[in-house]
Amino acid sequence: MQTLTTHSPLVHSRALGHILLIEIDNPPINAGSAGVREGLLRAIEQLRADASLHAAVLMGAGTAFMAGSDLKEFGQPLAEPQLPQVIAAIEACEKPVVAALHGAALGGGLELALGCDARVAVANTQLGLPEVTLGMIPGAGGTQRLPRLVGMPRAIEMVGTGERITARQAQAIGLVDAVVESVDDLLQTAIERASHLGGKRRVREMAVPTVDPQVLQATKTAVLKAGKGRPQVQAAIDATCMAMTEPVEQALLREREVFQQLRIAPDAFALRHQFFAEREAVRLPSALRAPLRQLQTVVVIGAGTMGVGIAIALLQAGLQVLLLEQDQSALARGSERLAEYYRDRLARQKISPAQAAEQQACLQTSLDWQVLAQADLVIEAVYEDLAVKQAVFQKIDAHARAGAILASNTSYLDVDAIAGVTKRPEDVLGLHFFSPAHVMRLLEVVRGEHTAADVLATAMALGKRLGKVPVLTGNAFGFIGNRIYNAYRQQCEFLLEEGAWPEEVDAAMTGMGMAMGPFAVADLSGLDIAWRMRQAQAAQRDPRQRYVPILDWLCESGRMGQKTGAGYYQYSAGKKTAGSDAQVRALIERASAQRGLVRAPIAAEQIVQRVLVAMVHEAACLLEEGVAHRASDIDVVLVQGYGFPRWLGGPVFWAQQQEPARLQQWMDDLVRNQGFGAQRASAQAVVHLLQTDVAASA
C-alpha cells in the first residue's frame, strides 16, 4: 500500500511498503534552498516517528538529485534550518537512508548524500564539491566525510579544485556504493539497498585511511598551485586535513565557521557574480529567440591551428566535420595536427580508445569545394584579412546549400562587409573562437545587420553544445573582447610614455591576477600582428590623435617578439630577460620626449587603477553603442577569453565596488589624458553599467 504525504511544496514523501521515498522537487536543479531544507527535516521526522517505516530513499525529482545549494542565499544571513542540521538529523535517525543520485549531486547536494548511509547513482551522474570555484569551502561536512570514503589525497584534490567526477569514477574510489545504467533502475536498486542495509553506516564514524606523508604533501602543493594560492583553496586543504587531526565534531564546527567567513568575503561575491553572469550570457533577448536550424554536419575551411582547434571542438561535441583546404600540403599538416592531438589524449588517458575512434570516424578531409553542399554550417578560419575572407565567402555562397549557416571566425573584421559579398546576408554571422579553440570556453557570437534570429539562436545553442560560454555581441571593430583589450593595451602604452617600464606594467597586472602582463603577451603572440593592423588603419587615423609609436619602432628594428628573440624583452632559449634592455628603454624615452612628457615613476596601484578604468570606460561605451547586450556579458568575455582574474568578477564588477562619483572623475581624467578625438561615455551609460546586478536578478 502507498501513502502520500506532502511536507513542503519542495519536498514530497510517500511510503513504498516499509520504505519512505523522499523526493526533492525544486526545479530546475533542486537547489537546496531554505524550503528544501525545512521539508527534508520534516520528512526525516516522519521516518523516525512511523514504526511501520524501516528505511528511506532520498532522491531528486526531475533532472537532478541536488545540483548545489541556492547561491542567491549566500550573500545574506542564512535562513534556518541550515544544511548541517538536516544532515545531523539523517545521521541521528536510527533508520538508514540511501541517497539515489542522478543528473548532478554537487556542493550541498553531495554533502547531503555523504550524510546518508549509502549512495546509489546512475552512471553519468556528476558528483563534486565545487565550493572553491565560488570562493568558499564545503560547509556541511564535505571536508570531513569525503576523506573517510576516498582517502586524504583524493579528497584534497576534489575539495581543493572543485573537480567533478562521474558516478563510475566515484564508485571506483569508494564514494558511491552501486551504479545503475538508467534512471529507470535507480529507485528499485536504492530500495533494495535500503532494505538490506540492516542498520546505520554513518560516514562520520569511519576512520580516515592512512596516507604516506610525502604523497600528502605533494598533493597539497599541487592543489594549491593549481588554485593560484587563493585563500579558499588553502582553507579547503586545511579543513580537509583536519579529518586526520581533530575530533569530528570539532572539525565540523571549524569547517562551518570558515565557510561562513568565506561566503561573505570579496572573492565569493565576485565569483558568484561571474557564475550568474555566465548563465545569463547564454540567454538571447526575447526578440531574437527562434526555432533552431538543423545542425549536424559542419565544414571548417582552413586547416591551420585555429581551424584544427575548431574541428576538434566540433568532433568532441559529436558533430560530423569536413575539414576543407586549398592545397594538399596544408591539408596534410592539419590532418597530422588532429592525429597528434588524439595520440596525446590517448597517451595521457584523457580519452578512451573507443571515444577517440568514434570522434575520428566523424572527420573527413577534402580539397573539393563541392563538399560545402553537405554542410548545415560552414565556419571559415582563414587568414585575418578582409579581402581574403571575402573571396572565401564568395566561394562559400556559390557552393553551400540554401539554409546553411555561414560563419566567419574573425577576431575584429566587419561581419557585414563579409556578408555583403554573398546573396544571403541573413545566413551570415561571426563565430569568434579563442585560441586554442578546443580549450578556451569563450565564443563571441557576432550579429550582423541582417543576421536572422534563427541563425543567432542556432549559433548560441552550438556554443552550449561545445561546452563553451557563448556571448552575443554586435558587429563593431574588435567586437566586445578585442575592443576592450585594445583600450587596455593603449592605456599600458600611455603608461610607458609617461614613466613606467614594460616590466613594471607587467608586474602590476600579474600582481592584480592576470596570468601574463600585456607586454609579455604581445611578445608571445608576435608584435608584427599588431603592427600590420596599425599599418592597415594608418590612413584612417587623425594625426592629432595620441598615438604611441614604440611598438612600430620595435618592429622596424627587427624586434617582433619571442619568435625573433627580442621584442619588449630579450629571449634566450625560450626564457625572457628580467627586464627591458637598453635599446627598448631608449625607444621608450624617445617616445616620451617626442610627446613632450617628463617621465616620472608610476606606482603599481596607479597602473592597475588606470588600466581598470580604461576597461570600464570602454565597457560603458560598448553598452551605449549597443555592441554589448548586458554589462555582465563584458565580464564574462574578459574572464573567459582574456585572463582577467575570475576572483575579481570582471572589470564591470570591479567598477560596481567603487564610489560612483570617484569613478566618473577617473573617467574624465582618462579621456582628458587621451587627448584629441577621445569620446567620453555618457554619465547615464556609466550609471547603467554600475546598476547591473546579475546575481540579484538571476
- Residue 445 half-sphere exposure toward CB, CA atoms < 13 A: 28
Amino acid at the residue 617:
H
Residue 131 among the catalytic residues:
yes
Closest by CA to 203, choosing from 47, 98, 48, is 98
Query: Other C-beta atoms within 10 Å of 207: how many?
Result: 7
Q: What are phi and psi of 389, to 5 degrees?
A: -65, -40
8 A C-beta contact, residue 40 and residue 47: no
| DSSP-derived secondary structure for 228-250 | TT-HHHHHHHHHHHHHHHS-HHH
Q: How buried is residue 416: exposed, middle or buried, by Cβ count under 10 Å (0-12/13-18/19+)?
A: middle
8 A C-beta contact, residue 550 and residue 492: no
Quote the CA–CA distance of 136 and 147 in Å, as a whole number.
Answer: 18
Query: Other C-beta atoms within 10 Å of 111: how many?
Result: 29
What is the helix (H) or strand (E) element at residue 55, kind and residue range? strand 55-60
Measured over the CA atoms of residue 102, residue 105, residue 108 and residue 110, the dihedral's sign is positive
Residue 556 among the catalytic residues:
no
Cell of 488: 587596455
Quote the CA–CA distance of 166 and 563 in Å, as a whole number.
Answer: 42
Q: What radius of gyration, in Å, describes the C-alpha atoms of the chain?
A: 28
Closest by CA to 11, choosing from 81, 58, 56, is 58
8 A C-beta contact, residue 220 and residue 251: no
| DSSP-derived secondary structure for 105-145 | EETHHHHHHHTSSEEEEETT-EEE-GGGGGT----SSHHHH
8 A C-beta contact, residue 597 and residue 497: yes
> Which parts of 9-72 are beta strand (E)?
11-16, 19-24, 55-60
Measured over the CA atoms of residue 367, residue 371, residue 377 and residue 378, the dihedral's sign is positive
Q: Active site residue: 38, 91, 111, 325, which one?
A: 111
Q: Active site residue: 23, 38, 131, 503, which one?
A: 131
Give me the active site residues, please. Answer: 111, 131
